[in-house]
Amino acid sequence: MKTPSSIRQFWRRGEPGVWASGAALAAMLLGIAGMLAVVAANGVVVFWPHRLCEFTLHDGSRVLGEVQQWQDVRGGGRRVQLKVGNRDLYGLDFRWIEGADVAGTRFPCDAVALERQEYGNFYGYLAGVSAADGGPGDGTGGGWAALEAAWRQARQQREALERLQRGINRNNLRMERTRLRLLRLRHRGVAEDDPRVAGLLDRQAALQREFSQLVAQSNAAAVECRRRTARFVDSHGSEEVLPVFGIVRAYRPNAMGRLAKARFYLGKVGELLFGQPREANTEGGLFPAIVGTVMMVFLMSVFSFPLGVLTAVYLREYARDGLVVRLVRIAVNNLAGVPSIVYGIFGLGFFVYGIGGRLDRWLFPERLPTPTLGTGGILWASLTLALLTVPVVIVASEEALGAIPRGIREGSLALGSTRLQTLTRLLLPMASPGIMTGFILAMARAAGEVAPLMITGVVKLAPSLPVDGTPPFVHVERKFMHLGFHIYDIGFQSPNVEAAKPMVFTTALLLVSLVLAMSGSAIWLRQRMKRRYAMGSF
């Protein structure tokens, strides 16, 4: 049984302090878990097809859409946020409905959700599909099967159109290259009647002809695509005729089974990873952003890793340990704590305007004042981030080298090997897990950093990838897209933030899992390494 004295002892011994610190830890862990749960919960469900709900209101009107959330209203009652889509018809995608106004709710099986190339989703009912020649069709017939058939056909047409578009892009690139070559020749003062100039002019003319041909073809194809239409009725009963071509996906969520929904989900994830963004980045895929992020991290690694390891080896193995090295070590540690925006502004001032501007005057004087290298680009962004991550690599590598027992070096040297041999055959292999940890931490940091990129070359929509099939294959001067900046851009700069939210959450989920996987593995590596040395040193 409890006695008052034992309670008093509980307090006197300070047990509440222990519990308070336990509560702090629990609160901290709950906070972290809560944050990850919010990202995961909101990010994972985005692509799962939601049921379409049709509310009949007391005034007799009907509203069809996806239920977003129910909310308590100040002063009593509840209201529901409905994604009604049909931005071209209603102006807004979302609508609040007072719970008291709802007379009836149903989930019609034939309700159709359309993902469109523009104007966001459409929710309504299928009324009919026109014939292939654009005629009125049989009005009643076909229904869903006809729509699917028409959609498959439209997809083929779209692919053909995209091929034409790629042709036009290639042509544009060639034209641009010819223009620049011509510019360079003229800048050098080559006469207009020089055969080189004439040749380029001929080529320009040929490309121009090819261009107009391609454009004509593509226009014709586009017109052809738009002829096949489907009629839909929205919940108010007004009819909307949409070209089948403009429909990215058509589905009837209320008629879908679990398996169909899962297939739909996977399809959307595939589009996310490999598709191009649509609708001001708020729909479609993240492929350019993923490629940009990976490419930037890769370039950063190329600069940062060798230099970081070199410096660490110098500081730990070659430099004489003294006041200077200690100061340098403190300075390097400090640099790891300098705000990233400071690196960013340095990158802008030094790399972009300093080195880039100078290289432009030297290499591409004919293109001025249009900057080639003197503007933000993936190279400068990577260099900036390399600078930012070098301290991380140095510190980690130094720690790894420092953890190797002295006896190993002495033994190796005593056996007659040189320092280089000791380094390459013993120290580096032994330190490699620690160095790897540093690399992974640096990559994780680089993948998640946005502020310095914003001012050194990230854009919301890059016309072309920094790596592609045209020589020289890797285009370090190009601007690029980035997952982190994507979040900032569509979450804060897009006109329709509410509609962009699902995309922001998926992007955030993708970025967080990428970064957490990287740093998690780094920490796992470190733990394993610690254990190895802990066993090896005794």
Partner 1 sequence: MDSRQVRRIRRNDRIARWVISVGGCGVVVCVLTMVVMIAGVALPLFRPASAVRVHARRIPADPGEAVLAVGLSDEGRTAYAVLDSGRVLFFDPASGEATQRLGLDGGRPGRGRLRSAHPHSEQTCTLNWDDGSASLIRIFLPAEDGSLGPGSAVARVLPLAAAPPESPPAADSRMWVTEQGHVLHISLLPDNRLRVRRLDADVETGDGAEAPHAEAWQEGRTEAVPFGRIIAFTADRHGEFLYAGTERGHLLRWDIGALPELRLLDAGAAWEDGTAVTVLAMVFGDVSVGVGAADGRVATWAPVRLYGPGSEPRLQRLHRLAPHGAAVTGLSPTEHDKSLLSLASDGSLQVSHMTSERLLLTLRGERPWNGFGLSLRGDGLIAVSPGGHYEVWRLRIPHPEVSWRVLFGRVHYESYDRPEFVWQSSSANDNFEAKFSLVPLIFGSLKGTFYALALTVPLALLGAVYVSQFTRPEVRNLVKPTVEVMAAVPSVVIGFLAALWLAPRVEEGIVGIFLFGLMLPLAVVIFLLLWQGVRGCRQAKRVERGWEFVALVPVLLIGGGLAWGLGPVVEGWLFAGDFRQWLFEGTGARFDQRNSIVIAFALGVAVIPVVFTIAEDALSNVPSSLRAASLALGASRWQTVRRVILPSASPGIFAGIIIGFGRAVGETMIVLMATGNTPVLSPSPFNGMRTLSANIAVEIPEAPVGGTLYRILFLSAVLLFVLTSGLNTAAELLRHRLRRKYGY
Nearer to partner 1, 167 or 357 (CB): 357
Q: Which is nearer to partner 1, 349 or 411 (CB)?
A: 349
Which residues, 284 to 313, sit near partner 1 by CB under 8 A?
Answer: 307-308, 310-311, 313
Q: What CA–CA distance (Å, rounded) separates 538 from 530?
A: 13
CA distances from 332 to 329, 392, 394, 403, 486 (A): 5, 9, 8, 19, 31
Please list every residue from 50 through 89 that binds partner 1, using CB under 8 A. Answer: 72, 74-75
- Residue closer to partner 1 (CB basis): 221 or 328: 328
- By CB under 8 A, is residue 520 in contact with partner 1? yes
* Min CB(331)–partner 1 separation in Å: 6
Nearest to residue 53, comparing CAs of 10, 116, 102? Answer: 102
Determine the 3-state secondary structure of 94 from DSSP: strand
Residue with tokens 């590598």: 397
Q: Is 334 in the site for partner 1 (CB under 8 A)?
A: yes
38 binds partner 1 (CB under 8 A): yes
Residue 518 lies near partner 1 (rule: CB under 8 A) = yes
Which range in 56-64, 115-123, 133-141, 508-516 contacts partner 1 by CB under 8 A? 508-516
Tokens 């720690």: give the residue.
399
Determine if 30 is a binding residue for partner 1 (CB under 8 A): yes
CB of 205 to partner 1, least distance (A): 32
Q: In the range 98-137, which residues lie near partner 1 by CB under 8 A?
A: none
512-524 burial, b at 16+ Cβ within 10 Å, e below that, comes to bebbeebbeebee
Residue 485 interacts with partner 1 (CB under 8 A): yes or no: yes
- Restricted to residues 487-506, the positions that interact with partner 1 (CB under 8 A) are 487-488, 491-492, 497, 501, 504
For the residues of 391-422, what is the DSSP string, one character each? Answer: HHHHHHHHHHHHTS-HHHHHHHHHTT--HHHI
Q: Which of 56, 54, 79, 48 lies closest to 66 in space, CA to CA?
A: 54
Using the minimum distance from each CB to partner 1, give the nearer residue, 253 or 308. Answer: 308
Alpha carbon separation from 233 to 113, 237, 432, 470 (Å, rounded):
12, 5, 65, 46
Q: Decide if residue 272 touches partner 1 (CB under 8 A).
A: no
Instruction: Considering only the stretches 15-23, 99-107, 199-207, 229-237, report the one whose residues sit in contact with partner 1 under the rule CB under 8 A.
Output: 15-23
Q: Measured from the CB of residue 333, what is the shortest distance to partner 1 in angstroms?
A: 6
Q: How many other C-beta atoms lie within 10 A of the C-beta of residue 405?
A: 12
Taking CB under 8 A as the rule, which mask of x and - marks residues 349-388 in contact with partner 1? xx--xx--------------------------------x-
Site for partner 1 in 392-421 (CB under 8 A): 418-421
Q: Which stretch in 62-70, 282-290, 335-343, 462-470 sits in contact with partner 1 by CB under 8 A?
A: 335-343
Residue range at the interface with partner 1 (CB under 8 A); choices 23-31, 102-110, 122-130, 458-466: 23-31
CB of 95 to partner 1, least distance (A): 18
Q: Does 447 bind partner 1 (CB under 8 A)?
A: yes
**Residue 524, interface with partner 1 (CB under 8 A)?**
yes
Rounded to 5 degrees, φ, ψ at 330 are -60, -40
Give the Cα separation of 395 and 442 in Å (integer).
11
Quote the least distance from Cβ 492 to partner 1, whole Å: 6
CA distance 408 to 396: 20
For partner 1, the binding residue among 82, 250, 290, 348 (CB under 8 A) is 348
Q: Binding-site residue total for partner 1 (CB under 8 A)? A: 102
Cα–Cα–Cα angle for 529, 530, 531, nearest 5°? 90
Nearest to 442 by CA among 301, 339, 245: 301
Min dist CB 498 to partner 1, Å, is: 10
7 binds partner 1 (CB under 8 A): yes
- Is position 450 an interface residue for partner 1 (rule: CB under 8 A)? yes
Q: Does 523 bind partner 1 (CB under 8 A)?
A: yes
E runs forming strands in 3-89:
52-57, 62-72, 78-83
User: How many CA atoms, within 13 angstroms, populate the side-chain half-sphere of residue 91?
Assistant: 0
The minimum distance between CB 197 and partner 1, in angstroms, equals 27
Measured between alpha carbons, how far is 245 from 488 in angstroms, rounded to an integer? 31
Q: How many CB atoms lie within 10 A of CB 193?
A: 7
Q: Least CB distance from residue 396 to partner 1, whole Å?
A: 13
